[in-house]
Every structure is written in structure tokens, then in C-alpha cells.
Structure 1
């Protein structure tokens, strides 16, 4: 590897270069490029300049291999000063009693390491997952299965009085183990493990992956006995803040709005490359999504009500409606998708997996207020915040 490329890699990933030996001692091996004696491929692969050019978009994230069994994992350093509750909440949902619950879609925490050079930092170890929307959703049934799981995961968090507060495209992941049976590159999931060719993937209908919710840096747990919580409204990870950003709001309806925004912006609407407009096979969800993104937080449904309406709407669909494209496609891809679904129908492949239905808890008036109402701030406290 040239000295210039090596220096660039070190600048971007200095934290991980400096902790390579510590991580190996703790049982986690970084990619070969982190070894000082690593030499890059000559010539580089067709699809990239080589593995040494592959960087994670966030400097606090890194992939690794667990030495004891070869499991592929992700590492993330967390600042206790910046995100004091992240590790605590992540560990909370990884407690055995909660981890065994099938409704729990919070990413499991495999290990927590104390950084040897900075007492403010902790390194959490998690399974290696990928974005939930790659590759493209092949059918309406695949979209339904995805959001059934995500709604169920948020319901589980809310039932434990935790608001995520950053539900976005980047914070919903999926288990790629079966989706990419020959593996994939930890930075570029569309490429193979050696980063020099396209990765081989199958459709979700052939493997039905499990989806997970990650990143609890902004999440908080609240005590219902204190009444409805009040937090500053914040932009979500996909950078579409609500109209009232900067004001105080109840964070539970904000989770509902964020999920509705994902459905509206990335599924109900077509991608501009496919002509824009609306994606007709998912228009049956528009009334629910409109209520989830209602400007008045108190008018949005609770996550339990979202699940009830979502299941009722989806149960009306015929098998062929479930096999329609999950996202907008151009003409050649649309034709291939139709042929694929005809083949799947003849092979007897189900358009939806058989999963037990989630049964939301009935909410009394007091708990419904906790999850939906935005409390009024006392005038003296409001004046103090303004000043």
C-alpha cells in the first residue's frame, strides 16, 4: 500500500489503528489492513481501489471478527459524556429476561470493553448487520414483514417506557446471514467479502430476515408516575425535522411520526428514478401513515393502535397483491419481478411468513395520556429556558 493511502487510512481510522493490539487481546481481530505489515492488492479489484480504501461513514464504527468462533461483529465506541445512557439502555434490552422475548428487536450487545486510552469511552460489541432497505424490497409482502417487526420492536421499547427518539433509515438494520449466503463486505454490502466483486444475494421471500433497532444515544427511559415526558424535538437521522423542531414535545408520538415518515418518503412515494409520484401497491397504508404523521402529536395513534390498524389493512390483501413490487421499479426490473413472482407462486412459496400476531396492551386513560399528551411547561420554567 502506498504511503499516501496508508496515511489517509490512518487519519480516518486512527482510533482503531491505535487499539488493534488491545482488541486482539480482548478477542476481536480487525481487518488485515490494520496490521502495520499489510500490503494492498496489486492491481486493485474491478469494483473498488482495494480494501484499504473502504471506510465506514462514521469514525466510531468498525467491523471485526470474534477470534474464538469467527463471528462477524461490529464495534462502536461511545462517549459517556456525550451519550451517558446509550450503553445502559443497550445493556438493559440485552438482559436475559428481555432478550428472550421474541418482540424484542433491539440489537443484542455481545460485549462492552473499557477503552484503554480514554476513560470517557466504552466500546460495545454487536452482531454485524446491514441497512434494512438493501437490497431493494422485492414484494409488498416483504415490506409488510419488515414493518411488522419494526413496529413490534418499537412497541416493546414503549411498553418498557423507553422512547427511541431517532427512528430513521440508518437506525433500522437487518440480519444479512441468509440474505447474503456467500457473505458481503463489511463496509460495502453490495460487494463480496474481498471487496473486488458484486455480492450474491437472494430475495427476502426466500429467507425472511429478522430486523433490528439500533443506536440508543438519544433514547430515554421514563417513569409513568411522573406523567407524560417532555423533551426537545430533534431532527431524525434522515434529516427531516418536524415543523415544530426546537420546541418541547412528548417523545413517544415522535417515534410514531418518524416511522410514518419512513413509510411515506421511501415506500408510499416512488423514487424519482422511477418517475416519482406514488407507489400504488402500498397506497392502502396512506390513511394510517397520514395519521402517524399528523401535525398534532396528540392526534397520532399509539404504537399499539398502529399495529392493530396495520394488521387489519394488511390482512385484506390477496396473495397476488402481496407479490406486487415492494418498491417502484423501472420497466426491465418490473418484468423480471413479475416473472419471479409467477415462479414463486408455482413453487408454493408464501408471500408472507407465518408469524404470531403481536397483541398490544389495552391502555387506560392515564397510560394513554402518558404516551400521547405533551405536558404544559410551567410559565416560570418556560421563561427560564427562554432566557
Structure 2
């Protein structure tokens, strides 16, 4: 086995640099009750050592899957075989703030159903005080299974806005409302238990034949917000204003002003929620025009004229209550002519142009 040695640990030559911190700490996680996949355990040797070395052949081996997200590791909780993910936070990147907000919003009180991913455990190893690890249940992206009925899309919008209401009510501005930060408790969507690093493959055999269940009635899974790396929680009674570079949604109109201009992140969240629902749900599907009024109300150019999260939640709740069973059970489908990537690219180009003008 070809290997290099770093910090007195022998790493196989196939282990990438960004995987080494996880491998180095693997025994510590094991002692705490979390088991990594074979590739990320100390002493691992590839299962393809005596097989053809070409790339296509390697892709058929489960332990050939390289960690694609530097800060995220999937694992199994040993005592109950539960699937979890572990997020690595760096001290220099607001680790304390992110961990505190995740713990505050995602408390594990079983009596209270929160729209925030539950925080199962926080871990700091004495050997790496610069790192904090947060353990969460494994979820999948909100759009893993397309909506097939009007009721499903409306329920998603209702839950997403309720999550925003929950955060704002508790004094937290999320700052990064985007497709990658809304998840769903959806492992059961799949016919076979999916592999954590490749949902199209099965966990047990790594066979590339995993499929989604089909449903002839609407289903209503639970959605969760994740990732508080851009979030802020001002002290009670204070008024928070942050610089225009805050967050990741550069379509927010306030971002077109000078870079040092102070903006209200709670108002920016409202725009981002409206933009997210418009681009990824309302415009992406045929049959969801009934949501346009609330989306437009959230996307007012003047921040002070945007509908609040509380009012938006009530609006959708009232809408669902007024609709008949036939309307709610109406089938919907993706727009075949919808160029999502083109829409997002044009949105980004426009934001860059406006930001450039605002700083001249």
C-alpha cells in the first residue's frame, strides 16, 4: 500500500488532502459512537488494489467515492444505526456563532416540532480546538422528489415560510435562503435505502438502480432549514443592520447600493424567500400561479413594503383553506421549456451590473 505520513498518521495515497482531517479524527468519532464509511477509517486499503486502475472501473467501487463536500461527512450512529451527517466548522469562520444559532433554533426537544434541522450533538476534540463539529440527522434536498400535486407544492411553500417566520420570531436572520439550504426528511422516498454520497445507488450493494417511489396521492413530508453560516442573531432590543455584502442572494435590491451601505437582513430574507419560491417553484412548474400574489408581495423593491413572514404564512394558510379538494389534487409538472440555469445566470449578471453601478 502506497502511503504518506502526516502528523504520525499513515494515509493511503488515494486519500485527498481535504479528507485527511476526517481520517485523522475517525477514531475519536468512533469512540463517541459515530462510524464512518470504510474509505475514511484509519488503515483503509482500497478494494480495487488488485483490479484494473482505469477510472471507469474504479467508479464501480463504493470506497472510490471521494468526499465532495469538504466540511460534511456522512456517518452511522452506532447504537441505533441512525444515519447522520457531521458538519465541520472552522474557528476563524464564525464557528461559535453558527454553532450557537444551530443549537438555539434546532434544539432537540421532542415535544416541539421545529422547522430547523435538529442538532443532535456538538463535538470539540481537545486535539483540534480550532474545529467544532455539529451532528445532524441525514436529510435530502427539498427537490429530490418533484411535486406532482398542487397540494404538495402549497404545503412546501407553507412550511418554508413558516420556517422563516420561526427564525424571525426568534430574532435570527438566515442570510442564505437558497435551494441547497432547504432539506426534507426524504430517505423513505427511495425504493431502496440510498447511498449517502450517491442517492442513485443503493446503500447495501452500491447498485446503480435506485428509484423513487411513485404515489397516487399527495404526500406531505417535513422540510427543514439548514446552514447558519451567514446568519445573525442580534441582541434583544437592538436593531441589526449589516453591510450590503451580507448573504448570498445578490438579487436583493439593496445590494445594488454602495458596498458599505447598511441593510436590514430580515428584510433581505423576505426578498430571498420570494425570489426562491418564484424561480424554483412557481415559474418552474405549470399550475402554481395561485402563489404569485404572495411571491410578489415578498419581492417588493422597497424593503419596507415587503410582506412579513407572519402575513405571508397566514396568506398561504388562508389560500389552502379556500381551495377545494379537486383544486388541491390537481396534477402539476415541471415546465419543459424552463431554463433554470439561464434564469439564474441572467439574474446574477443583472445583480453584478447593478452592484457595479451602485459603487461608481
- If the TM-score is normalised by the length of the shorter chain, which range does it land in? 0.7 to 0.9
Is it true that 1:252 corresponds to 2:262 in the alignment?
Answer: no
**1:328-380 C-alpha deviation (Å, 9 max, x unpaired):** 1559xxxxxxxxxxxxxxxxxxxxxxxxxxxxxxxxxxxxxxxxxxxxxxxxx
Name which of 121, 124, 130 aligns with 1:111.
121
The answer for the alignment partner of 1:288 in structure 2 is 294
The answer for the alignment partner of 2:31 in structure 1 is 25
Is it true that 1:209 corresponds to 2:216 in the alignment?
Answer: no
Which structure shows the bigger proportion of residues in strand conformation?
2
> Counterparts of 1:279-358 in structure 2 under 5 Å?
279-328=285-334, 330=336
Shift of the 325–82 alpha-carbon distance from structure 1 to 2, 3 Å rule, reads same
Is it true that 1:225 corresponds to 2:225 in the alignment?
Answer: no
Is it true that 1:39 corresponds to 2:53 in the alignment?
Answer: no
Name which of 256, 276, 279 aligns with 1:265.
279
CA contact (8 A) 1:229 1:251 kept: yes
Q: TM-score, normalised by structure 2?
A: 0.79
Q: Bigger shift: 10-19 or 209-218?
A: 10-19
CA distance in 2, matches of 1:94, 1:158: 14
Q: Secondary structure at the match of 1:295?
A: coil
Name which of 186, 190, 206 aligns with 1:176.
186
Shift of the 218–18 alpha-carbon distance from structure 1 to 2, 3 Å rule, reads same
Q: 1:123: Cα distance to partner?
A: 0.9
CA distance in 2, matches of 1:250, 1:225: 15
Q: 1:235: Cα distance to partner?
A: 6.5
Shift of the 57–235 alpha-carbon distance from structure 1 to 2, 3 Å rule, reads farther
CA contact (8 A) 1:141 1:326 kept: no
Residues paired across the two proteins, number: 320
Q: 1:297: Cα distance to partner?
A: 1.0
Shift of the 71–223 alpha-carbon distance from structure 1 to 2, 3 Å rule, reads same
**1:141-185 C-alpha deviation (Å, 9 max, x unpaired):** 111112211211221111111111111111100112432352111
Is it true that 1:163 corresponds to 2:145 in the alignment?
Answer: no
CA contact (8 A) 1:47 1:197 kept: no
Shift of the 125–192 alpha-carbon distance from structure 1 to 2, 3 Å rule, reads same
Instruction: Identify unmatched segments of 5+ residues in structure 2.
Output: 5-10, 338-358
**1:290-334 C-alpha deviation (Å, 9 max, x unpaired):** 121111111101100111112223334333333344441559xxx
Q: Bigger shift: 196-205 or 106-115?
A: 196-205
The answer for the alignment partner of 2:354 in structure 1 is none
The answer for the alignment partner of 1:243 in structure 2 is 253
Q: Bigger shift: 37-46 or 138-147?
A: 37-46
